[in-house]
A = this chain, B = another copy of it.
Amino acid sequence: MSILCVGSVALDSVCTPSGEREEALGGSATFFSTSASFFTHVDVVAVVGEDFPAEHLRFLESRGVGLSGLEKRPGRTFRWKGKYGWDLNEAQTLATELNVFESFAPRVPPALAAAEWVFLGNIDPDLQSSVLDQVQKPKLVAADTMNFWISGKPDALRRALGRVDLLFINDSEARQLAGESNVVKAVKAIRRMGPRLVCVKRGEYGALLFLRDVDDGAEFFAAPALPIEEVRDPTGAGDSFAGGFLGSLAAAGSLDAAALRRATVMGSVMASLAVEDFSLDRFRGLTPADIQRRFGQFASLMGLEGPAAKLTPVSAVR
Protein backbone atom coordinates (compact mmCIF):
# COMPACT_ATOMS: atom_id res chain seq x y z
CA MET A 1 0.00 0.00 0.00
CA SER A 2 2.95 2.37 0.17
CA ILE A 3 3.79 4.86 -2.55
CA LEU A 4 7.12 5.66 -4.16
CA CYS A 5 7.29 9.28 -5.25
CA VAL A 6 9.91 11.08 -7.33
CA GLY A 7 9.98 14.82 -7.79
CA SER A 8 11.48 18.05 -6.57
CA VAL A 9 12.20 19.25 -3.06
CA ALA A 10 12.59 23.00 -3.16
CA LEU A 11 12.80 26.24 -1.29
CA ASP A 12 10.06 28.50 -2.61
CA SER A 13 9.85 32.26 -2.35
CA VAL A 14 6.28 33.20 -3.08
CA CYS A 15 4.37 36.45 -3.25
CA THR A 16 0.56 36.44 -3.39
CA PRO A 17 -2.08 39.10 -2.66
CA SER A 18 -2.26 37.59 0.87
CA GLY A 19 1.43 38.07 1.68
CA GLU A 20 4.82 36.58 0.97
CA ARG A 21 7.22 33.91 2.14
CA GLU A 22 10.98 33.61 1.63
CA GLU A 23 12.57 30.19 1.09
CA ALA A 24 9.67 28.20 2.46
CA LEU A 25 9.45 24.44 2.03
CA GLY A 26 8.15 23.49 -1.42
CA GLY A 27 8.59 21.16 -4.38
CA SER A 28 6.39 18.58 -6.08
CA ALA A 29 7.68 15.60 -4.05
CA THR A 30 7.22 17.53 -0.82
CA PHE A 31 3.59 18.54 -1.43
CA PHE A 32 2.74 15.14 -2.86
CA SER A 33 4.28 13.08 -0.09
CA THR A 34 2.94 15.23 2.74
CA SER A 35 -0.57 15.15 1.30
CA ALA A 36 -0.47 11.39 0.66
CA SER A 37 1.04 10.74 4.09
CA PHE A 38 -2.40 11.31 5.63
CA PHE A 39 -3.56 8.12 3.92
CA THR A 40 -0.61 5.78 3.52
CA HIS A 41 3.18 5.49 3.73
CA VAL A 42 5.20 7.38 1.12
CA ASP A 43 8.88 7.12 0.19
CA VAL A 44 10.53 10.02 -1.59
CA VAL A 45 13.26 9.92 -4.25
CA ALA A 46 14.64 13.44 -4.61
CA VAL A 47 17.71 15.60 -4.06
CA VAL A 48 18.55 18.50 -1.76
CA GLY A 49 21.69 20.58 -1.28
CA GLU A 50 23.89 20.93 1.75
CA ASP A 51 21.98 24.04 2.78
CA PHE A 52 18.65 22.25 3.16
CA PRO A 53 17.29 23.12 6.62
CA ALA A 54 17.17 20.20 9.04
CA GLU A 55 13.78 21.39 10.32
CA HIS A 56 12.24 20.53 6.93
CA LEU A 57 13.63 17.00 7.13
CA ARG A 58 12.19 16.71 10.62
CA PHE A 59 8.80 17.86 9.34
CA LEU A 60 8.75 15.22 6.59
CA GLU A 61 9.86 12.59 9.10
CA SER A 62 7.10 13.68 11.45
CA ARG A 63 4.65 12.88 8.65
CA GLY A 64 6.21 9.42 8.37
CA VAL A 65 7.64 10.14 4.91
CA GLY A 66 10.47 7.73 4.03
CA LEU A 67 13.65 9.65 3.20
CA SER A 68 16.02 6.79 2.29
CA GLY A 69 15.85 7.95 -1.34
CA LEU A 70 16.46 11.62 -0.55
CA GLU A 71 20.03 12.38 -1.61
CA LYS A 72 22.00 15.21 -0.09
CA ARG A 73 24.44 16.55 -2.69
CA PRO A 74 27.17 19.21 -2.55
CA GLY A 75 25.75 22.58 -3.52
CA ARG A 76 22.56 24.51 -2.96
CA THR A 77 18.97 23.25 -2.91
CA PHE A 78 16.67 23.93 -5.87
CA ARG A 79 14.99 27.32 -5.48
CA TRP A 80 11.90 28.79 -7.13
CA LYS A 81 10.61 32.30 -6.85
CA GLY A 82 7.15 33.20 -8.09
CA LYS A 83 4.35 35.66 -7.84
CA TYR A 84 0.59 35.38 -8.19
CA GLY A 85 -1.59 38.25 -9.31
CA TRP A 86 -5.13 39.24 -8.53
CA ASP A 87 -6.80 36.18 -10.03
CA LEU A 88 -4.37 33.62 -8.51
CA ASN A 89 -4.74 31.39 -11.52
CA GLU A 90 -1.25 31.37 -12.88
CA ALA A 91 2.11 31.82 -11.24
CA GLN A 92 4.57 34.20 -12.78
CA THR A 93 8.02 32.69 -12.35
CA LEU A 94 10.47 35.35 -11.22
CA ALA A 95 13.52 33.12 -10.81
CA THR A 96 14.49 29.47 -11.02
CA GLU A 97 17.77 28.22 -9.55
CA LEU A 98 18.12 24.55 -10.42
CA ASN A 99 21.29 24.11 -8.32
CA VAL A 100 21.64 20.42 -7.27
CA PHE A 101 18.48 19.62 -9.22
CA GLU A 102 20.33 20.34 -12.48
CA SER A 103 22.27 17.07 -12.33
CA PHE A 104 19.56 15.09 -10.54
CA ALA A 105 19.62 11.41 -11.52
CA PRO A 106 16.93 9.69 -9.47
CA ARG A 107 18.21 6.55 -7.70
CA VAL A 108 15.58 4.23 -6.33
CA PRO A 109 16.96 2.43 -3.24
CA PRO A 110 16.85 -1.34 -3.94
CA ALA A 111 14.57 -1.86 -0.95
CA LEU A 112 11.95 0.32 -2.68
CA ALA A 113 12.14 -1.26 -6.13
CA ALA A 114 9.12 -3.44 -5.40
CA ALA A 115 6.87 -0.40 -4.88
CA GLU A 116 3.30 -1.10 -5.97
CA TRP A 117 2.24 2.54 -6.32
CA VAL A 118 4.51 5.00 -8.11
CA PHE A 119 4.09 8.74 -8.57
CA LEU A 120 6.30 10.53 -11.07
CA GLY A 121 6.16 14.22 -10.19
CA ASN A 122 6.49 16.89 -12.81
CA ILE A 123 10.18 16.54 -13.81
CA ASP A 124 12.10 15.83 -17.02
CA PRO A 125 10.31 12.92 -18.73
CA ASP A 126 13.65 11.16 -19.27
CA LEU A 127 14.11 11.12 -15.50
CA GLN A 128 10.55 9.85 -15.10
CA SER A 129 11.44 6.97 -17.44
CA SER A 130 14.66 6.26 -15.57
CA VAL A 131 12.65 5.74 -12.37
CA LEU A 132 10.45 3.23 -14.15
CA ASP A 133 13.62 1.40 -15.26
CA GLN A 134 14.46 0.95 -11.60
CA VAL A 135 11.16 -0.41 -10.28
CA GLN A 136 9.80 -3.90 -10.77
CA LYS A 137 6.13 -4.20 -11.56
CA PRO A 138 3.99 -1.49 -9.97
CA LYS A 139 0.26 -1.94 -9.69
CA LEU A 140 -0.13 1.67 -10.85
CA VAL A 141 2.21 4.29 -12.30
CA ALA A 142 0.85 7.82 -12.01
CA ALA A 143 2.52 10.91 -13.44
CA ASP A 144 2.19 14.64 -13.77
CA THR A 145 3.67 16.85 -16.48
CA MET A 146 3.52 20.43 -17.74
CA ASN A 147 3.73 22.69 -20.80
CA PHE A 148 7.52 23.04 -20.41
CA TRP A 149 7.99 19.34 -21.23
CA ILE A 150 5.09 19.12 -23.69
CA SER A 151 6.74 21.67 -25.95
CA GLY A 152 10.38 21.16 -24.89
CA LYS A 153 10.79 17.36 -24.84
CA PRO A 154 7.81 15.92 -26.72
CA ASP A 155 9.54 12.68 -27.75
CA ALA A 156 10.85 11.91 -24.27
CA LEU A 157 7.42 12.72 -22.88
CA ARG A 158 5.77 10.32 -25.33
CA ARG A 159 8.19 7.56 -24.27
CA ALA A 160 7.39 8.14 -20.60
CA LEU A 161 3.63 8.39 -21.20
CA GLY A 162 3.72 5.01 -22.90
CA ARG A 163 4.57 3.52 -19.50
CA VAL A 164 2.11 5.55 -17.39
CA ASP A 165 -1.27 4.25 -16.19
CA LEU A 166 -2.71 7.46 -14.74
CA LEU A 167 -1.88 10.95 -15.92
CA PHE A 168 -2.71 14.04 -13.89
CA ILE A 169 -2.70 17.02 -16.22
CA ASN A 170 -3.96 20.60 -16.22
CA ASP A 171 -6.89 21.48 -18.43
CA SER A 172 -4.94 23.76 -20.77
CA GLU A 173 -1.99 21.36 -20.88
CA ALA A 174 -4.27 18.44 -21.77
CA ARG A 175 -5.49 20.48 -24.74
CA GLN A 176 -1.92 21.39 -25.66
CA LEU A 177 -0.64 17.81 -25.38
CA ALA A 178 -3.51 16.46 -27.47
CA GLY A 179 -3.63 19.38 -29.93
CA GLU A 180 -7.39 19.33 -29.36
CA SER A 181 -9.60 21.91 -27.69
CA ASN A 182 -12.53 19.63 -26.81
CA VAL A 183 -11.79 17.96 -23.48
CA VAL A 184 -13.42 14.62 -24.38
CA LYS A 185 -11.42 14.38 -27.59
CA ALA A 186 -8.27 15.53 -25.76
CA VAL A 187 -8.63 12.81 -23.14
CA LYS A 188 -9.17 10.18 -25.82
CA ALA A 189 -6.06 11.34 -27.68
CA ILE A 190 -3.99 11.23 -24.48
CA ARG A 191 -5.22 7.71 -23.75
CA ARG A 192 -3.86 6.64 -27.13
CA MET A 193 -0.44 7.80 -25.88
CA GLY A 194 -0.52 5.31 -23.01
CA PRO A 195 -2.36 6.34 -19.83
CA ARG A 196 -5.65 4.49 -19.55
CA LEU A 197 -6.71 6.79 -16.72
CA VAL A 198 -6.61 10.55 -17.27
CA CYS A 199 -7.46 13.06 -14.58
CA VAL A 200 -7.85 16.59 -15.92
CA LYS A 201 -7.18 19.23 -13.26
CA ARG A 202 -9.27 22.37 -13.71
CA GLY A 203 -8.08 24.54 -10.84
CA GLU A 204 -10.95 26.34 -9.18
CA TYR A 205 -13.40 24.35 -11.34
CA GLY A 206 -12.38 20.97 -9.95
CA ALA A 207 -11.25 17.82 -11.72
CA LEU A 208 -12.55 15.48 -14.38
CA LEU A 209 -11.66 11.78 -14.37
CA PHE A 210 -12.11 9.55 -17.39
CA LEU A 211 -13.96 6.44 -16.23
CA ARG A 212 -15.46 4.74 -19.24
CA ASP A 213 -13.07 1.83 -19.28
CA VAL A 214 -13.39 1.15 -15.55
CA ASP A 215 -16.75 -0.66 -15.64
CA ASP A 216 -18.52 2.24 -14.01
CA GLY A 217 -21.47 3.03 -16.24
CA ALA A 218 -20.34 6.61 -16.66
CA GLU A 219 -17.82 8.06 -19.07
CA PHE A 220 -16.54 10.73 -16.70
CA PHE A 221 -16.63 11.63 -13.03
CA ALA A 222 -16.57 15.34 -12.20
CA ALA A 223 -15.44 16.53 -8.79
CA PRO A 224 -15.93 20.24 -8.12
CA ALA A 225 -13.42 22.36 -6.27
CA LEU A 226 -14.60 23.87 -3.02
CA PRO A 227 -15.23 27.60 -3.44
CA ILE A 228 -12.73 29.13 -1.04
CA GLU A 229 -13.03 32.71 0.07
CA GLU A 230 -9.39 33.23 0.86
CA VAL A 231 -6.84 31.39 -1.25
CA ARG A 232 -3.59 32.44 0.38
CA ASP A 233 -1.12 30.52 -1.81
CA PRO A 234 -2.00 28.22 -4.73
CA THR A 235 1.54 26.78 -4.90
CA GLY A 236 1.49 23.00 -4.60
CA ALA A 237 -2.25 22.61 -5.15
CA GLY A 238 -1.74 20.19 -8.05
CA ASP A 239 0.73 17.99 -6.16
CA SER A 240 -1.45 18.05 -3.04
CA PHE A 241 -4.31 16.94 -5.28
CA ALA A 242 -2.25 14.07 -6.68
CA GLY A 243 -1.16 13.13 -3.15
CA GLY A 244 -4.70 12.97 -1.81
CA PHE A 245 -5.83 11.08 -4.92
CA LEU A 246 -3.10 8.47 -4.91
CA GLY A 247 -2.93 8.23 -1.12
CA SER A 248 -6.64 7.51 -0.94
CA LEU A 249 -6.37 4.99 -3.77
CA ALA A 250 -3.37 3.18 -2.29
CA ALA A 251 -5.03 3.08 1.13
CA ALA A 252 -8.11 1.51 -0.48
CA GLY A 253 -5.78 -0.83 -2.36
CA SER A 254 -8.19 -0.76 -5.24
CA LEU A 255 -8.55 0.59 -8.74
CA ASP A 256 -12.28 0.07 -8.99
CA ALA A 257 -14.59 2.87 -10.03
CA ALA A 258 -15.88 3.65 -6.53
CA ALA A 259 -12.31 3.98 -5.22
CA LEU A 260 -11.38 6.20 -8.17
CA ARG A 261 -14.36 8.50 -7.63
CA ARG A 262 -13.54 8.84 -3.95
CA ALA A 263 -9.85 9.38 -4.75
CA THR A 264 -10.74 12.25 -7.08
CA VAL A 265 -12.71 13.97 -4.33
CA MET A 266 -9.94 13.26 -1.81
CA GLY A 267 -7.47 14.92 -4.17
CA SER A 268 -9.75 17.96 -4.25
CA VAL A 269 -10.04 17.86 -0.45
CA MET A 270 -6.27 17.99 0.02
CA ALA A 271 -5.81 20.68 -2.66
CA SER A 272 -8.53 22.80 -1.04
CA LEU A 273 -6.67 22.60 2.26
CA ALA A 274 -3.22 23.26 0.79
CA VAL A 275 -4.19 26.60 -0.75
CA GLU A 276 -5.55 27.98 2.51
CA ASP A 277 -2.06 28.75 3.74
CA PHE A 278 1.46 29.34 2.45
CA SER A 279 3.89 26.51 1.73
CA LEU A 280 2.80 23.31 3.51
CA ASP A 281 1.64 25.18 6.58
CA ARG A 282 -1.99 24.04 6.34
CA PHE A 283 -0.79 20.42 6.58
CA ARG A 284 1.06 21.09 9.83
CA GLY A 285 -1.19 19.98 12.66
CA LEU A 286 -3.91 18.82 10.26
CA THR A 287 -5.88 15.88 11.70
CA PRO A 288 -7.92 13.04 10.18
CA ALA A 289 -10.98 14.76 11.69
CA ASP A 290 -10.16 17.92 9.71
CA ILE A 291 -9.95 15.85 6.54
CA GLN A 292 -13.21 14.08 7.35
CA ARG A 293 -14.93 17.43 7.89
CA ARG A 294 -13.65 18.83 4.60
CA PHE A 295 -14.68 15.65 2.79
CA GLY A 296 -18.17 16.17 4.21
CA GLN A 297 -18.18 19.70 2.80
CA PHE A 298 -17.42 18.26 -0.64
CA ALA A 299 -20.20 15.69 -0.31
CA SER A 300 -22.59 18.55 0.49
CA LEU A 301 -21.25 20.70 -2.32
CA MET A 302 -21.89 17.99 -4.90
CA GLY A 303 -24.89 16.13 -3.45
CA LEU A 304 -27.70 16.03 -6.00
CA GLU A 305 -30.18 14.88 -3.37
CA GLY A 306 -29.00 17.32 -0.69
CA PRO A 307 -26.13 17.71 1.74
CA ALA A 308 -24.20 14.64 2.79
CA ALA A 309 -26.40 12.43 4.91
CA LYS A 310 -24.67 9.14 5.58
CA LEU A 311 -21.16 9.05 4.31
CA THR A 312 -18.65 6.24 4.57
CA PRO A 313 -15.92 7.54 6.88
CA VAL A 314 -12.68 8.65 5.35
CA SER A 315 -9.84 6.18 5.67
CA ALA A 316 -7.31 8.76 6.78
CA VAL A 317 -5.12 6.29 8.54
CA ARG A 318 -2.23 8.32 9.82
Please report A residues at the B interface, Cβ cutoff 8 Å.
Answer: 86-88, 181-185, 202, 204-206, 208, 216-222, 224, 227-231, 257-258, 261-262, 265, 297-307, 312
Contact = CB atoms under 8 A, between A and B. Distances in A.
Contacts of A204: 183
B227 A301 contact: no
Contacts of A297: 218
Contact of A217 (B202, B219, B300): B300
A168 to B, nearest CB: 17
B221 A182 contact: no
Given A202-B205, A205-B205, A307-B216, A229 B302 contact: no
A305 B218 contact: no
Contacts of A227: 183-184, 208, 219-220, 222
A16 to B, nearest CB: 12
Contacts of A182: 228-231
Contacts of A86: 181
A249 to B, nearest CB: 15
B184 A218 contact: no
Contacts of A303: 218, 221, 261, 304
A206 B208 contact: no
B224 A222 contact: yes
Given A185-B229, A218-B297, A221-B303, 18 more contacts: A88-B181, A182-B228, A182-B231, A183-B227, A202-B205, A205-B205, A206-B222, A206-B224, A216-B300, A216-B306, A216-B307, A218-B301, A219-B227, A220-B301, A224-B224, A257-B306, A261-B303, A261-B304
Contacts of A305: 258, 261, 312
A265 B224 CA distance: 14
A261 to B, nearest CB: 6
A280 B312 CA distance: 43
Given A181-B88, A206-B205, A261 B306 contact: yes
A181 B222 contact: no
A222 B87 contact: no
Contact of A221 (B222, B230, B301): B301
Given A205-B205, A216-B307, A302 B184 contact: no
A297 B300 CA distance: 19
A222 to B, nearest CB: 3
